[in-house]
Every structure is written in C-alpha cells, then in structure tokens.
Amino acid sequence: MSPRFIFLLAVSILIVGCSGGSTPVKVAETESPAITTPTQITTAPPPATVSLTYRLPLPETPMPAPTRTLAPTWTLTHTPTPTLSPASTSTPTVASWMNLRTECLEITSELPADFRGSGSIILWKMQGADHSYAVNMETGVRSILPDDWNWWEWAISPDEHWLTLQKDEDESTIQVLDPKGEVQATVHLEEDWGYSGWWDNERFEIYKLIDRDNKIYSLITLNPFTGNRQDFPAEYPDIYTLGAYFFPLAYDPALTRLIYPYHTKGEMGFRLRDVDGGQTLAVVPSIISLSSGPRWSPDGQQALVIGLPDFPNFGYFEFYTISRSGEVARLTDLGAYKAKISINRFSSYSWSPDGRYIAFWITIDEDPVERLAVLDVSTHSVVNYCVPGLKPLGAYPPIWSSDSQQMVVYDPSLEGPVVVVDIKQKRAAAIGMYLEPEFWLRTVPDIWVKKNP
C-alpha cells in the first residue's frame, strides 16, 4: 500500500476526531553544468529568514545537548505487561547515543542551474496553478502534463513498466497500460473490493470488506494478466480499527509477516504476527489514535513504527524498528533533549530507497510549524533541516529520488512552495507554487507527456 494512500486515511481520521492564485515559481530551463563541490557545512546559527516571500521562525541557537546519558539498554515495559511469545520477551536494544543537530537550509526561490538530480518529479496542479508539470531534475526543464491528468486515477508498478488507470466514473474497472498508453489488461473489481495500487511488478493490492460494522478488511493480491489471486484470512486478534475507519494493515513484501494495531484492556500498540503460524512475535506499546502506520523497509527485513516508551503515560513518541523475527530496537531518544522535540505522529514518514534514511517531521518547542528531519538508521543521527511542513494536521510523507540523495516536500496548506531538498549537497530549492508532488519517477510515461501543437 502506498504511503500516500495510508496518510490520506490517517488525515481523514484526524479531521473527524478533532471536532487567490499567483504565478508559479519559475523553474530554470537551461542545461546544467557539472555539479559543483558543496561548500563546507557550518554549525553556526542560521538566519531567521530564507530567500522567499514568507518568513520562517527558525531556531536561533544550535540544538542543546542531551540532559541525560542514554543507557545502553532499554526495557520495554508498561502496565499491564503483555503476554508475548518467547521470541518477543527479549529486552529491546537502544542506541547508546543519539546525535541530534540542526542544519537549517536556505531555500532558493528557484532551481539553480547547478542544482541537479536524477529522474523527474510529477506535480499536480492545485487551485492557483495553471497546469500540472513534470520537472526533469537532470536538466531543470519543466514539461506540461495533459490538462485532464489527475493523480488519483493512476498507479505505477515499482519498476515503472506498468500503469493502471481507474476513472472516477467507473471505479470498478481498472485498465493496465504500458508506458505508451496501450491497454494490456482490464480488471473488473468485485463488490466490496477496494483497489490500493500495485503490490509488486505483477500483482495488485486489493482490500475486501469483511465486517462492515467494524470496518474489518482482508488482503487480496491479484495478477491482472493471469487472473491468479491469493486471499489472506482476516485473522487479527484484538485489532483496533479506530472506530468507523479502516486502519491499514502492514504486510511485509514477502507476505509472511503482518503488523497491525491492537487494543485490549490496558494495552495498545503495534503487534507483529506470523501470517502462516498465527504467532505473535513482538509488540510495541503506542497510542494508535491519530498516529501514522507502520512502514516496512525497502528490503522487507524490518518495519518502522512510532512507539511510546512510557506507555500508558503520554509522553515523547520515539521511532522503533521490528525485525521479521520479532527483535525490537529503539532508534531515537528525542525526549532526552532540553528543547521539546517530538516526532509529529500526525504526519507521515518515508524510508529512502536504499533503506539508510528515514525522512519525517518534527515539532520543536512552541514553533507552530513542523520541520523536516532525517534519521540515519545506521548511525542514529538526526538532522533537522528546518524546511517547513504544515500546522497542525501534518504534512504528507516526503517523496525520495531513486538514488536516496534528494526528496521533495511541500506545505499542504499551499502557503509555501514545493521544495526539493538535497541531503548530500545540503541545499534546498523551490520548484513551484500551488502544486502537489505525487511521484518521483526515473522516466515519465509517454502517455503523461502533453503533445504540444
């Protein structure tokens, strides 16, 4: 299931639970010279503003040091203690230190000639924009997409070879197209099926409504070319469905592990379950309501969840990973810092394609705007880049480039621009206003390129 699909469901839950256009920013259209060597990073306090038309309340001092020393181990406890399988009774490990620093990036008002990357960013027009665009990050050239292009009608296989088109007027019919737009297969959805995109390069991800009152769904994978399907039983003991809304299930890529939210008397969190044997392998306590769901790493070996160390007491949320075998590891200890730094659990987060980084949103002290941060999983280092997100509901998950060096983010309130962030060169640039990033593709499908007269 795509992170975007999951996040839209979470935003809908949050909204229910909580009771004039201008000219787009110009994108350079000149051929790019070779990328220059990035300048040395400075730890001096950043300026209070960036070179845009809006002001950002950026931090004025470096991040304070931790107020306590992190212990080499951390015991996963809460009241009452859950009954777990032997594989999940081991004490979760925690990094002996966590490096947190601030490196506020200046956002240039357009894409500089020497700011280049790979692939193309697909931007969908919002109110105030004239067109949808594909921005080629190798050349800086922006191409106009067809006027009737809508992101929600499309899904793309991971290898970008197949596309699916699901028109609003006939949501029960899905067409499979090649990049040139030729229809290669057609699928008619059954009643109570919900199409969620591509599971892999050969199969669809479909959810079937099993219990309408409790909003319980089961997973179906379907090959649109052969018709072969696999139905997974809806066996989720103590599942927490957030009332009238379906909380997405998180199967691993191999479809042998499942993480889902659970709730029993005095207990709440995420549970890892063996799909074949039905055994509970691990749990991580958390407050599930209005929280982003689990994310499996690109290699499928571990999943990322947001946990609550002091459950059932409400405190700082931290990142944890759960391995396929049930080992739980804590990645962050943001609560150790003097500044009130927390993961914005209302927002979504995303793994880099190489599995090294996690991009997410944080809130600091009284700053009403969330900020983009990146966690290096291998070193437990967190960098706050100060790039603004949204207040207070939370921004969409950052979209990564295929080389894991850049990402694109934006403010869903449309008060700020779409911003490309390069974590290798430590640079950030605006590429448009009143636009919403949808995909970062290696190649733009021919069918999406507007044929200019």
DSSP letter at 293 equals: P
As a whole number, the mean pLDDT across the chain is 78
The answer to whether the CB of 420 falls within 8 A of the CB of 150 is no
Other beta carbons less than 10 A from residue 101's beta carbon: 12
Residue 434 has what pLDDT?
94
Q: Which residue has the tokens 């665009």?
A: 133
Residues 92-120: pLDDT tens digits? 555 546 888 999 999 999 999 999 999 99
CA–CA separation, 258 vs 256, rounded Å?
Answer: 7
Nearest to 369 by CA among 56, 35, 28: 56
In a domain, 133, yes or no: yes
The number of angstroms, rounded, from the C-alpha of 37 to the middle of its chain's C-alpha atoms is 30
Residue 388 maps to a domain: yes
Which residue in the block uniquely carries the two structure tokens 């759960």?
Answer: 322
Kind and range of the H or E run holding 276: none
pLDDT at 308: 86
In a domain, 453, yes or no: no
Q: Render pLDDT for 352-375 as a digit per residue (tens, 0 to 9).
A: 999 999 999 988 887 888 899 999
Would you place residue 433 in the very low, low, confident or very high pLDDT band (cuts 50, 70, 90)? very high
The DSSP annotation for 13-73 comes to HHHHH-----PPPP---SPP-PPPPPPPP--SPPPS--SSSS-----SSPPPPBSSPPPSB
Quote the pLDDT of residue 105.
97
> What's the confidence (pLDDT) of residue 291?
59
Report the alpha-carbon distance of residue 368 to residue 420 in Å, rounded. Answer: 22
Given CA atoms 305, 310, 311, 315 in this order, what sign does their dihedral have? negative
Q: What is the pLDDT of residues 130-159, one digit of tens each?
A: 999 999 999 999 999 988 888 888 999 999
Q: What are phi and psi of 37, to 5 degrees?
A: -65, 130
Q: Among candidates 289, 282, 337, which has minimal Cα distance to 89?
A: 282
The dihedral over CA atoms of 77, 79, 80, 82, expressed in degrees to the nearest 10, equals -30
Q: From its phi and psi, is residue 356 left (phi > 0), alpha (psi between -120 and 50) or beta?
A: alpha
The listed range with the strongest mean pLDDT (47-61, 200-214, 329-343) is 200-214
Q: In the predicted model, what is the mean pLDDT of residues 206-229?
A: 91
Left if phi > 0, otherwise alpha if psi is -120 to 50, otherwise beta: which for 88?
Answer: alpha
First to last CA, the chain: 38
Residue 439, domain CATH: 2.130.10.10
Selected residue with higher pLDDT from 56 and 195:
195
Tokens encoding 132 = 């949808």
What does the pLDDT look like over 164-196, one tens digit per residue? 998 766 678 999 999 889 999 999 999 899 899
| Residue 104 forms part of a structural domain | yes
Residue 74 identity (one-letter amino acid): W
Contact 73, 94 (CB under 8 A): yes
Contact 55, 48 (CB under 8 A): yes
* pLDDT range class, residue 451, cuts 50, 70, 90: low
Higher-pLDDT residue of 2 and 267 is 267
Q: Is residue 211's pLDDT more than 60?
A: yes
**Average pLDDT, integer, range 309-314:** 78
| Rounded Cα distance, 126 and 115, in Å | 25
376 band by pLDDT with thresholds 50, 70 and 90? very high
Q: Residue 311: inside a domain, yes or no?
A: yes
Write the pLDDT tens digit of every residue in 229-271: 999 998 899 988 765 445 568 999 999 999 999 989 888 899 9
Determine the structural domain holding residue 88 and report its residue range: 3-162+171-448
Prediction pTM value:
0.78
Is 87 within the bounds of a domain? Answer: yes
Number of domains in the chain: 1
Around 408, how many Cα atoms within 13 Å sit in the side-chain half-sphere?
28
Specify the pLDDT at position 38.
31
| 330: β partners | 94, 320
Please state, in angstroms and rounded to a whole number, the distance separating the CA atoms of residues 317 and 11.
19
| 404 pLDDT tier (thresholds 50, 70, 90) | very high
Name which of 34-43, 335-344, 390-399 the model is least confident about.
34-43
